[in-house]
Amino acid sequence: MSEESLEKFTLRYRVDVLFGIDTIRDGVKMFLDHFKPSRVVVVCGRRSARVSGALSVIENILEERKVHHLIFDKVHANPTIDIANELLRTMMSHRPDAVIAVGGGSVLDTSKIVSCVYASGGEDVRPYFYGEKCIKSKLPLLAVNLTHGTGSEVDRFGVLTDELTRHKRAMASDLMYPSLSVDDPKLTVTLPREQTVYTSIDAFYHCVESSSTTLSSRFTRTLASEAMTLIVENLHRAYRNGEDIEARYWLLYASMLGGICLDNSRAHIVHAVEHAISGLRPDIPHGLGLAVVGPKLISYLYSKVPEKFTVLQTLIPDLRLQPREHRRIEYFLKAFVEQFGIKCSLSELGFGKDDLRDIVRLTFEASPHLLNLCPYKMSPEELAALLEELV
Ligand SMILES: [Fe+2]
């Protein structure tokens, strides 16, 4: 083995995660015992924090401990700079010394970003989003994760959309790691069926992409391979019966591994294109956008650099990593999402040929950092031709 084949990589693992059934109470108490906040902002969306029961557990403990708290429950899917600024203004008037984020990726990402901008003295999120200002400080943040998709509870990223430019992208900072995270599978059993599928597909593509970026390593490939196997084994069970706690446990474990993979090796073109799609149309769930474009894009990359996709051998053991197998990859990835009723078609999402120019432009404009990590440098023309096959 040559020295060059022994990869260099940075191992990141900076978050304590309480993982397991009924960990939420211990997590909240541990966080309050450690940081002793006197004023807390609890951030959530309109539905899942209440329906899952997580919010009432948190409120009861805060009331028992007489911690002054305010609930901000306006975060929506594909959160915008506008909603982040509304949370920032709320923090500026409430002056919290800690934040508890209760939700899926949208809530966790918004909370991670805004609590850091607030602690850094910022009064507007936009210059931080565009890198004109840097995050310099953070507030203690407890992330109570309610979905098995984003991995945001273990990573240093937060994704927002600028509603003016339609740019959707991830902000990254070492200060954005949560101070403590809770992954309690019981809190995911009330996830609606569609969200169960979309969030798991998000975790699945975190694994496929992170294990094939220019930053990928044996470490991420090992975790990704384990996580992908668990997703394929357990998603059907959770789809059929949302209350199957064992299936939820493994899907949540897999999404946490996917988050660690993402934190270490990031993602590439599937996420870049999806960010353009849901940047243009924020009503499209992130996981659905990935499901639609993923099979075509990954199979094309496989035809160019099959050796970067060893992780797929976990699911298709007789793959020989030959370019001619790319149609098999597309078939496999399509079949995986089609069994849950998803059609891999941009037309189904409401896009026509006239929209492709915008999708390609936004992909290259908003996500050059992800495209740089792609194992094969795709041109705008190549991307447009591939997307045209999906209309
Ligand atoms: Fe994602």
Share of the chain above pLDDT 90, in %: 96
E strands present in 8-155: 17-19, 39-44, 68-72, 98-103, 141-145
**Are 90 and 114 contacting, i.e. CB atoms less than 8 angstroms apart?**
no
Residue 10 has pLDDT above 90, yes or no: no
Domain end: 188, 211, 234, which one? Answer: 188
Q: How far is the CA of 264 from the centre of ligand 1 (A)?
A: 14
Asked if 319 and 246 sit in the same domain, the reply is yes
DSSP assignments along 79-105, one per residue:
-BHHHHHHHHHHHHHH--SEEEEEESH
Domain end: 170, 188, 206, which one? Answer: 188
Q: How far is the CA of 271 from the centre of ligand 1 (A)?
A: 6
E strands present in the chain: 17-19, 39-44, 68-72, 98-103, 141-145, 157-162, 167-172, 180-183
Cα–Cα distance for residue pair 253/232, rounded to 1 Å: 13
Q: What pLDDT does residue 11 have?
A: 57
Domain that holds residue 148: 17-188
pLDDT in tens, 293-350: 999 999 999 999 999 999 999 999 999 999 999 999 999 999 999 999 999 999 999 9
Asked if 332 and 303 sit in the same domain, the reply is yes
Q: How far is the CA of 47 from the centre of ligand 1 (A)?
A: 21
Asked if 164 and 77 sit in the same domain, the reply is yes
Q: Which helix or strand (DSSP H or E) is residue 64 part of?
A: helix 54-64
Asked if 180 and 199 sit in the same domain, the reply is no
Q: What pLDDT does residue 306 have?
A: 98
Is the residue at 11 inside a domain? no
Is the residue at 1 inside a domain? no
Q: What pLDDT does residue 364 have?
A: 97
Residue 7: exposure state from Cβ atoms within 10 A (0-12, 13-18, ≥19): exposed
Q: How far is the CA of 376 from the centre of ligand 1 (A)?
A: 20
Q: How far is the CA of 33 from the centre of ligand 1 (A)?
A: 32
Q: How far is the CA of 152 from the centre of ligand 1 (A)?
A: 9
pLDDT band at 5 (very low <50, low <70, confident <90, very high): confident
Q: How far is the CA of 206 from the centre of ligand 1 (A)?
A: 6
Asked if 89 and 172 sit in the same domain, the reply is yes
Cα–Cα distance for residue pair 206/258, rounded to 1 Å: 6
Q: What pLDDT does residue 7 have?
A: 73
Q: How far is the CA of 199 from the centre of ligand 1 (A)?
A: 8
| Count of structural domains, the chain | 2
Q: How far is the CA of 67 from the centre of ligand 1 (A)?
A: 34
What 3-state DSSP class applies to 21? coil
Q: How far is the CA of 65 from the centre of ligand 1 (A)?
A: 36
Q: How far is the CA of 291 from the centre of ligand 1 (A)?
A: 11
pLDDT band at 119 (very low <50, low <70, confident <90, very high): very high
In 3D space, the residue among 351, 191, 185, 187 whose CA is nearest the CA of residue 274 turns out to be 351
Residue 218 has pLDDT above 70, yes or no: yes
Q: How far is the CA of 128 from the centre of ligand 1 (A)?
A: 21
**pTM reported for the whole predicted model:** 0.95
Domain end: 172, 188, 204, which one? Answer: 188
DSSP state of 390: T
Residue 127 has pLDDT above 90, yes or no: yes
Q: How far is the CA of 150 from the centre of ligand 1 (A)?
A: 5
Q: How far is the CA of 3 from the centre of ligand 1 (A)?
A: 33
Q: How far is the CA of 225 from the centre of ligand 1 (A)?
A: 17
**Are 217 and 264 contacting, i.e. CB atoms less than 8 angstroms apart?**
yes
What 3-state DSSP class applies to 168? strand
In 3D space, the residue among 223, 99, 236, 113 whose CA is nearest the CA of residue 172 turns out to be 113
